[in-house]
Structure 1
Amino acid sequence: MGLAWQQGPLSGRAVGRFLVPQPLPDRLLFAERLRRRMRVRFGGAWIADSEDVLLLHEPGRYPVAYFPRASIDDGVLLPTTRTTRHGELGETSWFIVEAGDGRAERAAWEHSDPPSHAEELRGRVAFAWRAMDAFYEEDERILGHAADPYHRIDVRRTSRHLRVLDGDRVIADTTRPLALYESGFAPRWYLPREDVALSALTETDVRTFCPYKGLARYYDVGLRTGAAWGYPEAWTEVARISGFLSFEPDRIDVVLDGVRLRLEPGQTVVAHGLDRGLDADEITKPLT
C-alpha cells in the first residue's frame, strides 16, 4: 500500500478516514520532492539523471516520477502530435523516446499547461515505466514503479499457533511464524519450511515480483491452485522471510490461534496504469 493506491488514505478505498466535518473530494492529487537521486536508462544509455524529481501520487495509481527537462539528455524526447487530457492536470503532450539503439513510441509525457495549483509540474516529464530499460536510485535498480516513501514493511517473530489445512490434512503446523506487516494491509504469515509438509506442495511456473520484497514463486496444494508462495531470496530489507512460505486464506484453510483467517478487502495486489505493472520479466530479463 502507498499513499494513493491499494488501501492508502488518498486511494478511494482507504481502510481509515480523515476526521474532518466535510467530505473530501473524491480525488486528491499529492505532489512532493522525492529527495533521492533518480536515473533512467534506455537504449543502453543514461538519458535522465536528477536529484530534483517530483513524485506525483494520484488516486488508484502507483507513484509517478517527473523529471525536470534540464535533467534529460538533449535529443532524447521527440515531440509528437498526440495529446490527451488529464482530468485534473489538463492537456498532456506525448513524446517518442530515442537514445542509443532504442526508440519507443508514447514513452514519455508532459502536462503542457497545468493549472496554477499544480504549477510545480510545469516543465517536467514522466517516462512510461515499461517502455524504459530500467530506473535507478543512485546505483541501485528499482522495479515496478517509483519507490513510494509511504510504503513500509515490518517483520516480527511470534509464537502464535498457525495451522494450514487441506480439508482434514495438515499441511503446516508451527508456533514460530513470522508476521509481515505491510503498510496497512492485513498481516501475512510466513512459515519456516521445516514446519510445512513440502511433499504436499507442487511448484508452478507462476512468478511475480513485489517492488519491496523481490521475486515470488507459487505452489499448488492438491487442487488448490496458487495456495502458497514464497520468496527464495527476498530482498535485503525483508531478508528474514527468505525461504519461508505463506498461504492464501481464500484458497486454503489458514487457522491462527484457532480462528480461521479470511482474505480481507483490498488485500489483492492490483497493477494500476497502462504504463506500469508487476510483471516478473522486468526483474528477470537482462539489461541492455
Structure 2
Amino acid sequence: MSVPFPSAGYTEDTIKRIRVLFGGEYIVDTRNSKLVWEHAYFPHYYFHKSDVPEKYLQNATKSDKSDTYDLVVANRKADAAVKLFTEGDLKDFVKISFDKADAWLEEDERIYYHPKDPYKRVDVLQSSRHVRVKIDGVEVANTTKPRLLFETGLRVRTYIPISDVHMELLTPAELTTGCPYKGVASYYDVNLPSGKKEGLVWWYRAPNLECAEIRGFLAFYDEKVDVFVDGKKVE
C-alpha cells in the first residue's frame, strides 16, 4: 500500500505554539515553526534560526549543506542534537532531534515520539470477521471478536481478545515501542516447537484515548505470520 499525501519533501507552516524543553529551559518557544516531511510517514518540526538562541548551540561541525551543533544548557549537553541548514529550500531553518530534548509541547499539551501527521487518522472498529493466526503451522489465535485498527496509509491491524489467544505459547519480551496515536506498546515472544519467535505480538496496557478500544487486545505482526480472515489467507 502506498502512503498518501503528503509525500517526502512537503512542508507547511503551522500556527500552533511549539516549545522545546531542555535542561530546565525552553530553548524554543515559537508560533512560526514548520512541519517538514522528511519521509512519507510522519513530519518533524523545523524552526527558523532566529527562534533558537545561539547561546544554546556549541561545537559546530560544518558540512556542504548544513552545520551540526551540540545542544548545551548549563551542565547539560546533547551531542549533535541540532542541525542548521545552510542551503536549499530549508536554508536558515533548524532541526532539533526529537529524542534529545527533554520535552516537546504543542500549545500546553506534551507530545511524544514525533508530531502527529494532520493528514492521517486512526479508527478502531469492532468486527465479527473470523480471524485465525498461525505461525509455522501452529494456531496461536482464533477469534470472531476482533477489533480492527485503520491507520491512514498503513496496513490494517487486527487486535484480538486475550481470551482468544493461546497465551500458553507467549512469554513477555523486554521490547517496548511508542506511537503518538496509540501510546506505549509491550511485546510478547512466541514459543513454538520450531523455536522462539521474537517480537511478533504486541499490546497496549493504557492506549491513548483515540485508540482506547484496543486496550488489552493483542496484535500479531501480520507480515511475519499466517493470517486467515473468513477462511481466506491474507497475502
Specify the TM-score bucket, using the shorter chain as the normaliser.
Answer: 0.7 to 0.9
Q: Distance in 1 between matches of 2:6 and 2:119?
A: 12
Q: For the residues of structure 2 that align with 1:172 and 1:60, how far apart are their CA atoms?
A: 33
Secondary structure, in 3 states, of the residue corresponding to 2:133? Answer: strand
Alignment of 1:7-156 (within 5 A): 7-9=3-5, 29-59=9-39, 62-73=42-53, 75-78=55-58, 80=60, 82-85=61-64, 91-114=65-88, 118=89, 121-156=90-125
Check the 8 A contact 1:38/1:136 in 2, yes or no.
yes
1:237 maps onto 2:210 in alignment = yes
Out of 159, 162, 179, the position equivalent to 1:190 is 159
Distance in 1 of aligned mates of 2:55 and 2:121:
38
- Taking structure 2 as the reference length, what is the TM-score of the superposition? 0.85
- Specify the code of the residue in structure 2 equivalent to 1:102: R
Please report the RMSD computed on the Cα atoms of aligned residues, expressed in angstroms. 2.5
1:38-71 Cα distance to aligned partner (Å, 9 max, x none): 1111112211111211112234675231123343
Partner of 2:224: 251
Match of residue 213, structure 1, among 169, 174, 182: 182
Give the Cα–Cα distance (whole angstroms) in 2 for the partners of residues 249 and 146 of structure 1.
26
Whole-Å Cα distance in 1 between the matches of residues 161 and 188 of structure 2?
15
**Contact conserved, 1:10 with 1:59, CA < 8 A, in 2?**
no
What code does the residue aligned with 1:55 have? L
Alpha-carbon shift at residue 185 of structure 1 (Å): 1.4
Alignment-derived partner of residue 234 in structure 2: 261
**Which shows bigger deviation, 171-180 or 123-132?**
123-132
Residue 148 of structure 2 is matched in structure 1 by 179
Kept in 1: contact 2:3–2:41 (CA 8 A)? no
Unaligned runs of 5+ in 1: 12-27, 86-90, 263-288
What letter corresponds to residue 202 of structure 2 in structure 1? W
SS at match of 1:240: helix
Q: Is the 8 A contact 1:189 1:247 kept in 2?
A: yes
Structure 2 residue matching 1:151: 3-state secondary structure: coil
CA distance in 1, matches of 2:199, 2:71: 38
- SS state of the match for residue 98, structure 2? coil
Contact map agreement 2:115 2:180 (CA 8 A) in 1: no
What amino acid is the match of 2:226?
D
CA distance in 2, matches of 1:9, 1:144: 21
SS in 2 for 1:190: strand
Other structure's SS at 1:186 match:
coil
The residue that corresponds to 2:132 in the other structure is: 163
SS at match of 2:63: strand
SS in 2 for 1:29: coil
- Aligned with residue 202 of structure 1, among 171, 178, 185: 171
> Secondary structure, in 3 states, of the residue corresponding to 1:75?
helix
